[in-house]
C-alpha cells in the first residue's frame, strides 16, 4: 500500500509566463501510480500549458517535473514519450495524408514500441489494426482504412488515444479528450478510459467537462489563473468555496 502511494509524476513549483501573463504560477501536484487524476479549471487556467510542460513541448520558467524520481524538465518531447509518458493533443494531430491505421505506424516504429514488439513479433499493420479496434474502431468496417483527413472528430480523438497506447504507456495525459464530442460519443469514450485504468495505465485528464470527468477521476486538482485552488476527491473539491467562486456562472451538476 505504501509503495502504491509513491508519486509517479511529481510537478514541483512550476512557473510559466507568456509575456506578462502568468499562465502557471508555482503549481505543484503529484500523480500517483494507477490513479486517474483530473485537472480542471475555467478557460485560460493554464491546463494545456501544464500538459505541454510535463511532456516537454514547452519549457517552464522555473520549477521541475520528475517521473519516478527522474527529472523530465529539459528533456526533448520524444525522450519523455520514450519513457512512457504519453499525451494526446486537444486539437487533434493526425497525419491527414495517411490511412487511419497507417497513422499508428509512426509510434509503432519508435524505439520504445520496437522494444516491446521484438519479444512478440508480428507485423506493424496488424498491430495497428488491433490498436484501433482497442479504442473503438469497428474491426471489419472500412473506417481504419480511410484517410485520416476523412475521419470525423470522434474517431480522431480515439486515434490520439491509440497513438499513446501504441507506445505501451505508463502514463497517458489526456488533453481534453471529450471536448468537441457529442454526448453519445462521450458516453462511449468513458468505458474506454475505465479500461485503461484497469490495465494499470495511470491517467492525467485535463478536462473542461466536469460531469464526465467525475465518473472516471479518483482525485481532482482545480486550477484558476495558473494557480492551484483546490485538490482532493471530487465531492470534497466541489464543496470548496474557492472552486465555486472560480466556476461562478457555470452550473455544476454532480
Partner 1 sequence: MERRERRKERLDRSIKARAEGLYAISSWREVSYLLAPRAGLILGLLIAPLVVPSLYWQRVLALAGVYALLAISFDFLAERVGLVCIGGAFMTGVGGYIAGALNYYSGLPVPLTILIGTLGGAVICTLMWLPCLPLRGIYFAVVTFMFPFLATSVILAGSLFQGTEGLSPVAGFPNTWIAVYLIIAVVLIAIFALRRLCGEDIGLVFAGVKDNDQAVMASAVNVTRVKVYALFIATVIGCFAGAFLSHFSGFAGLSLFAIDFTIMPIAACIMGGPGTIVGPVLGAFFLAPLSELLRGFGQLRVVLYCVVLVGFILFKPEGLLNWASRKYHQFEHWVKV
Which range of residues in 36-44, 110-118, 135-143, 216-224 is near partner 1 by CB under 8 A?
Answer: 110-118
**Going residue by residue from 180 to 209, which x/- string records binding to partner 1, judged by CB under 8 A?**
------------------------------
DSSP readout, 125-163?
HHHHHHHHHHTT--SSSSGGGSBGGGS-HHHHHHHHHHH
Q: Which of 47, 158, 163, 228 binds partner 1 (CB under 8 A)?
A: 163
Q: Is 105 in the site for partner 1 (CB under 8 A)?
A: yes
Compute the chain's Rg from CA coordinates.
18
Q: How far is the CB of 82 from partner 1 (least distance, A)?
A: 4
Q: How far is the CB of 98 from partner 1 (least distance, A)?
A: 6
Q: Is 146 in the site for partner 1 (CB under 8 A)?
A: no
Q: Smallest Cα–Cα separation from 83: which of 96, 102, 70, 92?
A: 70
Q: Which of 17, 61, 110, 117 binds partner 1 (CB under 8 A)?
A: 110
CA 236, 239, 244 angle in degrees (round to 5)? 130
How many whole angstroms separate alpha carbon 145 and alpha carbon 240? 48
Q: How far is the CB of 184 from partner 1 (least distance, A)?
A: 27
Q: Smallest Cα–Cα separation from 66: which of 10, 4, 3?
A: 10
Q: Is 95 in the site for partner 1 (CB under 8 A)?
A: yes
- How many chain residues touch partner 1 (CB under 8 A)? 32
The DSSP letter of residue 99 is B
Q: Is 96 in the site for partner 1 (CB under 8 A)?
A: yes
**Torsion of the alpha carbons at 224, 229, 230 and 231, rounded to the nearest 10:** 80
Q: Which of 5, 28, 76, 152 binds partner 1 (CB under 8 A)?
A: 76
Residue 220 contacts residue 234 (beta carbons within 8 Å)? yes
**C-alpha cell, 184:** 453519445
* CB nearer to partner 1: pick between 102 and 197: 102
* CB nearer to partner 1: pick between 75 and 237: 75
Give the position of cell 497513422: 103
How many whole angstroms separate alpha carbon 120 and alpha carbon 1? 32
* CB nearer to partner 1: pick between 49 and 243: 49
Q: Is 74 in the site for partner 1 (CB under 8 A)?
A: no
Interaction site with partner 1 (CB under 8 A):
55, 57, 76-79, 81-82, 86-87, 89, 93-98, 102-103, 105-113, 124, 163, 166-167
Amino acid at each position: 500500500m505504501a509503495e502504491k502511494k509513491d508519486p509517479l509524476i511529481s510537478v514541483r513549483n512550476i512557473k510559466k509566463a507568456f509575456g506578462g501573463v502568468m499562465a502557471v504560477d508555482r503549481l505543484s501536484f503529484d500523480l500517483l501510480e494507477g490513479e486517474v487524476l483530473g485537472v480542471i479549471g475555467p478557460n485560460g487556467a493554464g491546463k494545456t500549458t501544464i500538459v505541454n510542460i510535463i511532456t516537454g513541448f514547452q519549457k517552464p520558467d522555473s520549477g521541475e517535473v520528475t517521473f519516478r524520481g527522474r527529472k523530465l524538465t529539459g528533456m526533448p518531447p520524444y525522450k519523455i514519450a520514450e519513457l512512457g509518458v504519453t499525451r494526446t493533443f486537444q486539437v487533434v494531430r493526425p497525419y491527414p495524408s495517411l490511412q487511419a491505421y497507417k497513422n499508428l505506424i509512426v509510434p509503432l516504429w519508435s524505439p520504445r514500441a520496437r522494444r516491446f514488439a521484438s519479444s512478440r513479433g508480428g507485423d506493424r499493420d496488424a498491430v495497428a489494426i488491433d490498436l484501433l479496434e482497442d479504442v473503438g474502431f469497428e474491426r471489419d468496417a472500412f473506417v481504419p482504412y480511410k484517410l485520416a483527413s476523412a475521419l470525423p472528430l470522434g474517431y480522431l480523438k480515439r486515434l490520439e488515444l491509440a497513438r499513446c497506447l501504441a507506445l505501451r504507456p505508463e502514463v497517458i495525459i489526456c488533453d481534453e479528450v471529450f471536448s468537441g464530442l457529442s454526448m453519445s460519443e462521450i458516453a462511449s469514450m468513458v468505458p474506454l478510459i475505465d479500461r485503461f485504468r484497469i490495465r494499470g495505465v495511470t491517467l492525467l485528464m485535463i478536462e473542461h467537462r466536469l460531469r464526465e470527468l467525475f465518473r472516471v477521476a479518483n482525485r481532482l486538482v482545480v486550477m484558476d489563473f495558473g494557480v492551484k485552488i483546490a485538490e482532493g476527491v471530487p465531492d470534497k473539491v466541489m464543496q470548496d468555496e474557492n472552486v465555486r467562486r472560480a466556476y461562478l456562472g457555470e452550473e455544476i451538476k454532480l
